[in-house]
Structure 1
Amino acid sequence: MGSAIRLETVLAGGLWSVHADPNQLENVILNLGVNARDAMAEGGRLTIETQNAHLDERYAARHMGVPAGQYVLIAISDTGEGMPPEVVAKAFDPFFTTKAVGKGTGLGLSQVYGFVKQSGGHVKIYSEVGEGTTVKIYLPRFIGAAEDEVVTDVSDLPLGEEQEVVLVVDDEPAVRQFSCDALVELGYRVLEADGAVRALAMLEAQPEVSLLFTDIVMPETNGRKLADAARVLRPDLKVLYTTGYTRNAVVHNGVLDPGVELIGKPFTIEQLAAKVRQVLDS
């Protein structure tokens, strides 16, 4: 990795088993580590994290070919230069590379994609220019004999009340819509904004907002700066952050302070219900 790169691991206990080729998995992690190193020409932090995860029916419906269920998540994060959306969209294409001639084949991420699909899994890239990149690999939990998936009845979840108003802020329309739909289903009244300027105007016009639910990494003004400005207007405002990056990455990069309320993407409606209720009741 080189002396300018700090390597950090955050490995959860009690991880589920997966059914995958260990040698290929090792190569995938090494491949992603090398990509991360190359994106940090001036040095930085490379973080490898593991945890158990659940992708629900709503997530599966928005990602063709991804079965809902239990997965083991492996996340590789860097503090490098990041990628714009048009590069992220092509990142898994064979022979696509942003590296100089002779520096890369463009096969690295396509091989990662092939391994993950061969293993029945899912891979997702979160990246913003100037902020860094997180690659999340989801490998299906291996439990032997098939078990029926438990479908949660929304009425069994901690619900909101109509007078509790949540302002959802996210620059990605599809993600914002999913959050809004889930919160409405949970009984909250929901307002939405695509960025900080619109969100602050709505907070001034809507003093009944109980909770600001904001993405962290957004163009122009990030979620942290938005929350700081919002609390100048409303010192008592509750704030819940969300991000595709891992908690460890955003805290260590100085974007957020330790101990803030954060829910990672993708989240299930059960996780959202519990977290929103926890923040509002705190």
Structure 2
Amino acid sequence: VYGFIKQSDGHLKIYSEEGHGTSIKLYLPRSMGDMVDVEPPAPVDTRGGHESILVVEDDPLVRNYVSAQLEQLGYRTMVTANGPEALAAVDNGFVCDVLFTDVIMSGGMNGRQVADAVTARLPSVRVLFTSGYTEDAIIHHGRLDPDVTLLPKPYRKADLARMIRQVLTQPAAVAAK
């Protein structure tokens, strides 16, 4: 919720008092203008293939969701809870086409550090970051670093499928940065 509020240029206030409960107020910006019919994006082939995806996500609920969605799309996955586990999987022979990693994680490594370490071992791997926060290490002054592809949380299965296919079609030189 916090990530959605911040992405929408809003804020929230939480007040809690023992014996009286907690109140949460969400403030979103007022809409400026009429609703505009937006043409849906062109359809993208989201079917999975033979590709392998290394998922690094420290939240068990999100980890299980992502794993189930990727497997339904036909991908082979290795799911890990943090950077050291991901590096151990690669060091033990797991070769992936895509690294899908959260940006902010427990376990001593953030997503950028995991991506750097994995791409050092597997130079052709493509990287897709995900995050529920806008103030992460990959966003500077409201802009993503030029070599970063980000899927903001929360996301739907269709968004995940589209972004995985997008990353897989990037030239290896761009994806490996």
The aligned counterpart of 2:68 is 181
Deviation above 4 Å: which 4+ runs of structure 1? 74-77, 247-250
SS in 2 for 1:180: helix
The aligned counterpart of 1:36 is none
The aligned counterpart of 1:195 is 82
Query: AA paired with 1:238?
Result: R
Alignment of 1:113-132 (within 5 A): none
Q: Is 1:247–1:262's contact at 8 Å kept on the other side of the alignment?
A: no
Alpha-carbon shift at residue 206 of structure 1 (Å):
3.2
| Structure 1: distance between partners of 2:53 and 2:146 | 23
The aligned counterpart of 1:95 is 17
Q: Is 2:131–2:153's contact at 8 Å kept on the other side of the alignment?
A: yes
| Structure 2: distance between partners of 1:49 and 1:111 | 18
Alpha-carbon shift at residue 208 of structure 1 (Å):
2.8
Q: Is 2:57–2:105's contact at 8 Å kept on the other side of the alignment?
A: yes
Call closer, same or farther: CA 1:48–1:207 in 2, change over 3 Å. Answer: closer
Alpha-carbon shift at residue 253 of structure 1 (Å):
6.8
Call closer, same or farther: CA 1:48–1:173 in 2, change over 3 Å. Answer: closer
- What percent of counterpart residues are identical? 36
1:277 aligns with 2:165: yes
| Structure 2: distance between partners of 1:225 and 1:198 | 13
Q: Is 1:157–1:270's contact at 8 Å kept on the other side of the alignment?
A: no
SS in 2 for 1:217: coil
Alignment of 1:29-48 (within 5 A): none
Call closer, same or farther: CA 1:197–1:274 in 2, change over 3 Å. Answer: same
The aligned counterpart of 2:118 is 230
| Structure 1: distance between partners of 2:121 and 2:128 | 17
SS in 2 for 1:206: coil
Call closer, same or farther: CA 1:160–1:251 in 2, change over 3 Å. Answer: same
Alpha-carbon shift at residue 231 of structure 1 (Å):
1.2
Q: Is 1:251–1:258's contact at 8 Å kept on the other side of the alignment?
A: no
Alignment of 1:112-261 (within 5 A): 112=25, 158-161=46-49, 163-219=50-106, 220-246=108-134, 250-252=138-140, 257-261=145-149
Corresponding pairs, count: 150
Gaps spanning 5+ residues in structure 1: where?
A: 1-31, 33-46, 51-73, 78-90, 97-105, 117-136, 140-155
SS in 1 for 2:118: helix
- Answer 1 or 2: higher relative contact order, Cα 8 Å, separation at least 6: 2
| Structure 2: distance between partners of 1:189 and 1:228 | 22
| Structure 1: distance between partners of 2:93 and 2:48 | 18
Gaps spanning 5+ residues in structure 2: where?
A: 31-43, 171-177
| Structure 2: distance between partners of 1:281 and 1:225 | 23
| Most deviating of 200-209 and 233-242 | 200-209
Q: Is 1:169–1:213's contact at 8 Å kept on the other side of the alignment?
A: yes
Call closer, same or farther: CA 1:160–1:225 in 2, change over 3 Å. Answer: same
Alpha-carbon shift at residue 48 of structure 1 (Å):
5.6
